[in-house]
């Protein structure tokens, strides 16, 4: 694995785990991959076992290609919320969440709410950026027309 791919893999694994609010120990319990191996993978793996990457990609509900080709942190809010919700669904299916206290449920709810707020903010920002681009395009068209008018004189 080349250096760039290795760095992308490690940063994506760290990003995914942290965005879900999980510890390396949590991931170890769910995947069977030792905490020390997870730590090595997140620090920039030199020798990677494909089975570990496949297992982690499945655990994080992503694919191998995304892990090694895309900087997942660039698509933070929607991807994080999607992953977080999928982990909650998986935990419910596996009855991992049955023993949570009300405080832990409140914390999960707050995390979901915060992610939703981030998504809403991103959507508003993207909408404003699109409006600004449209305004600039209209302004450029107007300037082009003005230049053409001046050239005709």
Task: Please give the chain's pLDDT, 153 residues, in tens.
Answer: 788 888 889 999 998 888 778 899 999 998 999 999 999 999 987 788 889 998 998 888 787 887 888 787 776 555 666 666 666 666 666 655 566 677 777 777 777 777 777 777 777 777 777 888 888 888 888 888 888 888 887
pLDDT at 41: 94
Does any domain span residue 113?
Answer: no
The answer to whether the beta carbons of residues 77 and 122 sit under 8 Å apart is yes
141 in a domain, yes or no? no
- For residue 117, tell me if it sits in a domain: no
User: Locate tokens 């709410």: which residue?
Assistant: 113
Q: Please report, for residues 7, 23, 27, 102, the alpha-carbon distance to residue 14 in angstroms, rounded to integers and kept in the order given.
A: 11, 10, 11, 28
Residue 44 lies in a domain: yes
pLDDT on residue 82: 61
Q: Which residue has the tokens 């305004």?
A: 135
Structural domain contains residue 51:
yes
Number of domains making up the chain: 1
Domain that holds residue 10: 1-72
Query: Is 57 inside any structural domain?
Result: yes
On whether the CB atoms of residues 114 and 47 are closer than 8 A, the answer is: no
Is there a domain that residue 106 lies in? no
The CATH number of whichever domain residue 61 belongs to comes to: 1.10.260.40
Asked if residue 142 is part of any domain, the answer here is no
Q: What is the reported pTM? A: 0.53
């Amino acid at each position: 694995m080349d250096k760039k791919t290795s760095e992308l893999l490690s940063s994506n694994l760290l990003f995914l785990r942290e965005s879900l609010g999980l510890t390396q120990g949590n991931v170890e319990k769910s995947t069977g991959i030792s905490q020390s191996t997870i730590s090595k993978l997140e620090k920039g793996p030199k020798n990677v076992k494909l089975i570990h990457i496949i297992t982690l990609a499945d655990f994080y509900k992503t694919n191998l290609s995304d892990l090694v080709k895309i900087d997942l942190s660039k698509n933070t809010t929607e991807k994080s919320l999607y992953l977080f919700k999928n982990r909650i669904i998986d935990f419910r299916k596996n009855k991992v969440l049955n023993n949570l206290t009300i405080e832990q449920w409140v914390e999960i709810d707050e995390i979901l709410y915060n992610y939703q707020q981030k998504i809403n903010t991103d959507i508003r920002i993207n909408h404003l950026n699109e409006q600004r681009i449209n305004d600039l395009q209209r302004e450029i068209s107007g300037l082009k027309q003005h230049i053409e008018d001046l050239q005709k004189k």
